Amino acid sequence: MLDPTQPQYPEPITAPAQTTQNLDGLLQKAEGGVKTSTWGYIIWGLALPPITTILALLFALKRGVFFVVLPTLTIAFSALAVLSPIFVYFLFGPIHIVTTQFTLRQNIYADVGLALTSMFLTILAIAGIILGVYFRNKAKKALTLGTIPVVVLLVILVLEHWIFWINLNSAMSVVSKQAQIILNQQGVPF
């Protein structure tokens, strides 16, 4: 059994399999292996703004992914906001053609409020896309988002929502005036 001439070594200690798996999981998390998808937050945030946008940001804050969701949501809403003036002017082009013969003052291209809000919305949307990409890349590297970037992105989102609704209201006002002119010219009381 035991040979007194041979040196005695203690049996090697082996780690349980579960501990090894836990260590592998911790290493994977430390290396950034666990990734969270932001698509759900973006789709939910754009569903019915501004209510769902606020809810998406609150859920992201609760789950600890706010630092990625805020810049991504800013990029997504900015992309939609930059398309808004384009749709307003190009989709209402036929109305412009029809109503030009009736009045030049009431067409969508002559409305100063609509033009100013469209320009400001476009500039703000471009800034939102650029700053959103910049802060998102920075946040992904640092796994956090500083106070100044959070404030800047939130101000951009709030201003975009506010100006978007002003722009939409201005467009609908001009279209309503044009529809009233067309219907009155046709003898339909409006």
Using 50, 70 and 90 to split pLDDT, how confident is the model at 34? very low
Total structural domains within the chain:
1
pLDDT the model gives residue 173: 82
Q: Kindly state whether residue 46 falls inside one of the protein's structural domains.
A: no
In the structure encoding, which two tokens stand for residue 19, read together? Answer: 């501990």
Q: Kindly state whether residue 181 falls inside one of the protein's structural domains.
A: yes
pTM attached to this predicted model? 0.72
Percentage, residues of the chain above pLDDT 90: 45
pLDDT the model gives residue 151: 97
Q: Kindly state whether residue 1 falls inside one of the protein's structural domains.
A: no
On the question of pLDDT at 159 being above 90, the answer is yes
N- to C-terminal Cα separation, the chain: 110
pLDDT the model gives residue 175: 74
Query: CB 133: neighbour CB atoms within 10 A?
Result: 15
Domain containing residue 181: 64-185
